[in-house]
Amino acid sequence: MRNVYLDNNATTQVAPEVVEAMMPFLTEFWGNPSSMHWFGGQVARHVEEARARVAALFNVSPSEIVFTGCGTESDNAAIRGAADALGPQARIVTTRVEHPAVLAPCRRLKEMGYAVTELGVDASGQLDLAALRKELRNGPCVVSVMWANNETGVVFPMEEIAAMVKRAGGLLHTDAVQAAGKLPLDLSTIPVDMLSFSGHKLHAPKGVGGLFIRRQTKWTPWLLGGHQENGRRAGTENVPYIVALGVACEQARLHMAEDARRMAALRDKLEQGLLASCPDARVNGDPVHRLPNTSNISFQYIEGEAILYHLSDMGVAASSGSACTSGSLEPSHVIRAMGVPFTAAHGSIRFSLSRYTTDEDIGHVLKNMPPIVEKLRALSPFVG
């Protein structure tokens, strides 16, 4: 049986060149980069080389990159650090379709007494910019808005959002975990203050991420202890994974345009084939402003979990939304925020591709999906 992996927004295959680059730092160059002696010093140089590679992906200074353990840590550090720096009078503005790594810390701040606003989206998953503009009139605030949605692939107009926030004197954080490596994110022209990203979404290992913090941004370190990362994130540096992240970011920068073109073509083939062969199916999200690798499709009158089980039996790995909320029988908070009808919301499936996805992979899904939908529809209490 053919195995097809279409859950790349949950995690990606580690690229072979990334594995090769990190191995010497597990076996030969295992010194602590914070040590003063030569053995640690030679490792520290490689950490800084990786920092420069990461910075090049975003066109920023290496000194503005902080290595973290994952995207979730980066999101929490950005939001809590900004709130701490501005004090309890700070207002927090975010959206209803954010990843739980943003929504959870924002809601915790609300419990602590901070004023927190969650903005809505329209039926295509796009942010209500008028509501954001209105909220910004109430004075400076910390705004956390994702660059691209992890479930639908919808891309927010970050250049316009950043300009609005800056005019209002606000502080802007963006969760770019899904966008980094798939879209050109030039922070030399887009005035984002903080940006979170994660290694395992762009072919590096799990366990490493990063946070861009623009110079002179009001922010308080969240993880305290040692002097690492110029005092911005305490803890011994995870050198093999930092080196891996540097190589992964360099590969993404060099091959982004080609990878995006290939993935978008395969995504479109998948969507067109499924819409043609599966009645009562719909694509969720903005059809134009979206990631090249992501497709969220609702199959009405059937449960998404049942679809996923049957797909898994056919060797296909997909998901019903964020891996962080898997196991829940409730429709995704993103799909609910978009107002997707109840009969379709429960049957929403996310297919997410990578540079390693092939035409044969898509053909395998197109062959096996229609019989699965037909079988489950025949058992559905909502049909006929």
How far is residue 25's CA from residue 380's CA, in Å, rounded to a whole number? 54
Direct distance between the N- and C-terminal alpha carbons of the chain, in angstroms, rounded to an integer: 34
Asked whether the beta carbons of 86 and 136 are under 8 A apart, the reply is no
CA dist 248 and 51 (Å) reads 12
Q: State which H helix or E strand residue 282 sits in.
A: strand 281-283
What are the residue ranges of helices labelled H in the chain? 16-22, 24-27, 38-58, 71-86, 100-111, 129-136, 158-167, 239-277, 304-313, 333-337, 342-345, 359-379
Catalytic annotation on 324?
Answer: yes
Of the candidates 70, 106, 249, 324, the residue annotated as catalytic is 324
Q: Which of 272, 288, 289 is nearest to 351 (CA)?
A: 272
10 Å Cβ neighbour count for 342?
Answer: 10
For residue 104, give the nearest of 322, 284, 304, 295 by alpha carbon. 322
Taking each helix axis as running N to C, give the angle between helix 100-111 and helix 71-86, from 0 to 180 degrees, rounded to the nearest 10: 30
Give the dihedral sign, CA 271/274/275/277: positive
- Identify which of 129, 11, 10, 145 has the alpha carbon closest to the alpha carbon of residue 75: 145
Using DSSP, state whether 68 is helix, strand or coil: strand
Give the Cα separation of 355 and 296 in Å (integer): 18
Among candidate residues 369, 361, 363, 371, the one with its CA nearest the CA of residue 6? 361
Nearest Cα to 250, choosing from 38, 2, 24, 55? 55
Separation CA 62–CA 353 (nearest Å): 30
Q: What is the distance of C-alpha 380 from the center of its chain?
A: 33
| Active site amino acids | 324
